[in-house]
Structure formats: structure tokens, C-alpha cells
């Protein structure tokens, strides 16, 4: 995952330093990066301006996703590391990749508990004034975070137990961009598995 990440940064810049700490703390130390020089106005260079029209650093790219505000980058990395791991890789993929007869209920229970802890963490976080993941405005952090919640809801996650998360889910789901890009088969086909149903 870290190999797809690229950060433009400036030495001594606090906004740059914050996501750099998070990248290391979250185990993304292998990310690619470029140190720019403010005195030469390298932040206004073509390579940065095509990603960040403001010509500022930090400018962060993860594959095709670009996130530019330092706090949004930190929240994006928080979501990337934890929500993807606990809900999707650990729990959903276990169901997708393990035959029903081979699934161990004790193992499932442990994965479900870890997923619930992560959901509780985000429930509290979204209740602290956060209309969206990185603050009052919809940002690229939400583009990264929301699909994990939407897929989990499709797979049986009942958000009534997480009112802040439900409010967030409903608000983002109603956005025209989300409605226009909604996976077509989700409207027509039921999910193959429902690992959350009755468990969280």
C-alpha cells in the first residue's frame, strides 16, 4: 500500500510534519516523497500544481487519490489504516475467501469484535462536531472512507446502533456524486454474504 503513496513536503513545515508522523506511525514508512525548497518556490512547480492548484505542501497522492490539506491527509491515513483493515481485509475478506464449512465461529467473533471497536471509535469521532471525516466540508478523505461504510451496510451492518455513523452515511449517500456512481449491481442483486447481520 505504501508504495502507491507519494508526498511532496517542505522541511520545517508543521503542516507537512503532521502527516509524515502519521505515515510512520501507521506503518507506511515506505512511501515515496520529494522534499521541496520554499526559497526556490518549488511548491509552485508544475508537478505540484497539477495535483494542488493552490501550489502548497503537503501535497499527497495515494494511487489516483489526491489529498492536500494536512489534517485531511492525517484523517485519510487513519481511515486507510484502520477501517480498511478491520472491516474489509480482516472480516469481509475472511468471508469471501473462506468456505462456509471452514469458517471458525471463534475466529469470526474475534474479527467482529475488532470491527465493532473500530466502528465505536469512529462513532465517537464523528460525534465530536465532525460533519465529515476531515471537518465541516466533504473532502477526499470522505471519498476514501465512505465506500468502506457503504459496503459494510450492504453486507448487513446495521447503523441504527451507531447514530453518528448513520447520520454520516445518510448524508454522504444522498450526495449527487455518490448517487450517480452507485454500483449498479447493488441496486439489483442481494449481497452474496452478510457477515455483519446479527453480529454487530
CATH classification of the domain holding 18? 3.40.30.10
Regarding whether 163 and 88 lie in a shared domain, the answer is: yes
Greater model confidence, 191 or 168: 168
Among 2-11, 83-92, 105-114, whose mean pLDDT is lowest? 83-92
Regarding whether 9 and 63 lie in a shared domain, the answer is: yes
For 22-50, the pLDDT digits (tens) are 998 888 888 999 999 999 999 999 999 99
Regarding whether 87 and 108 lie in a shared domain, the answer is: yes
Q: Average pLDDT, stretch 180-190? A: 88
Please state, as a whole number, how many other Cβ atoms lie within 10 Å of the Cβ of residue 68: 21
Regarding whether 46 and 92 lie in a shared domain, the answer is: no
10 Å CB burial of residue 53 (0-12, 13-18, 19+) is exposed
Domain assignment of residue 6, given as a range: 2-68
Is pLDDT at 108 greater than 80 in this prediction? yes
Regarding whether 105 and 162 lie in a shared domain, the answer is: yes
Please state, as a whole number, how many other Cβ atoms lie within 10 Å of the Cβ of residue 31: 20
Contact 155, 196 (CB under 8 A): yes
Which pLDDT belongs to residue 129? Answer: 65
| Beta strand spans in 29-134 (E) | 32-36, 59-62, 65-67
Residue 103 is given by DSSP the state -
Which pLDDT belongs to residue 35? Answer: 96
What count of Cα atoms within 13 Å lies in the side-chain half-sphere of residue 158? Answer: 6
195 in a structural domain: no
Which pLDDT belongs to residue 39? Answer: 93
The answer, as to whether pTM is greater than 0.75, is no
* 69 vs 66: CA distance, rounded Å: 10
Question: Closest Cα partner for 116 from 170, 164, 159?
Answer: 159
> Reduced to 3 states, what is the DSSP secondary structure of residue 42?
helix
- Given 22, 39, 68, the domain boundary residue is 68
For 46-95, the pLDDT digits (tens) are 999 999 999 999 999 998 889 988 988 988 887 777 777 788 778 888 88
Question: Dihedrals φ, ψ of 158, to 5°?
Answer: -100, 110
- Given 52, 68, 84, the domain boundary residue is 68
157 in a structural domain: yes
Regarding whether 142 and 78 lie in a shared domain, the answer is: yes
For 138-174, the pLDDT digits (tens) are 887 888 889 889 989 998 899 999 999 999 999 999 9
> Reduced to 3 states, what is the DSSP secondary structure of residue 199?
coil
Amino acid at each position: 500500500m505504501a508504495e502507491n503513496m507519494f508526498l511532496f513536503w517542505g522541511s520545517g513545515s508543521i503542516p507537512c510534519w503532521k502527516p509524515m508522523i502519521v505515515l510512520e506511525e501507521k506503518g507506511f514508512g515506505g512511501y515515496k516523497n520529494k522534499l521541496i525548497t520554499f526559497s526556490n518556490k518549488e511548491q509552485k512547480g508544475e508537478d505540484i500544481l497539477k495535483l494542488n492548484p493552490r501550489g502548497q505542501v503537503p501535497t499527497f497522492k495515494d494511487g489516483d487519490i489526491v489529498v492536500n490539506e494536512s489534517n485531511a491527509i492525517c484523517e485519510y491515513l487513519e481511515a486507510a489504516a484502520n477501517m480498511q483493515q478491520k472491516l474489509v481485509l480482516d472480516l469481509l475478506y475472511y468471508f469471501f475467501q473462506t468456505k462456509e464449512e471452514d469458517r471458525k465461529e471463534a475466529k469470526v467473533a474475534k474479527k467482529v469484535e475488532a470491527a465493532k471497536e473500530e466502528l465505536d471509535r469512529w462513532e465517537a469521532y464523528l460525534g465530536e462536531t465532525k460533519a465529515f471525516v476531515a471537518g465541516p466540508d466533504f473532502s477526499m478523505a470522505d471519498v476514501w472512507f465512505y465506500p468502506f461504510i457503504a459496503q459494510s451496510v450492504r453486507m448487513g451492518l446495521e447503523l441504527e446502533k451507531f447514530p453518528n455513523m448513520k447520520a454520516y452515511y445518510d448524508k454522504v449517500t444522498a450526495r449527487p456524486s455518490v448517487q450517480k456512481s452507485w454500483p449498479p449491481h447493488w441496486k439489483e442483486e442481494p449481497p452474496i454474504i452478510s457477515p455483519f447481520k446479527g453480529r454487530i
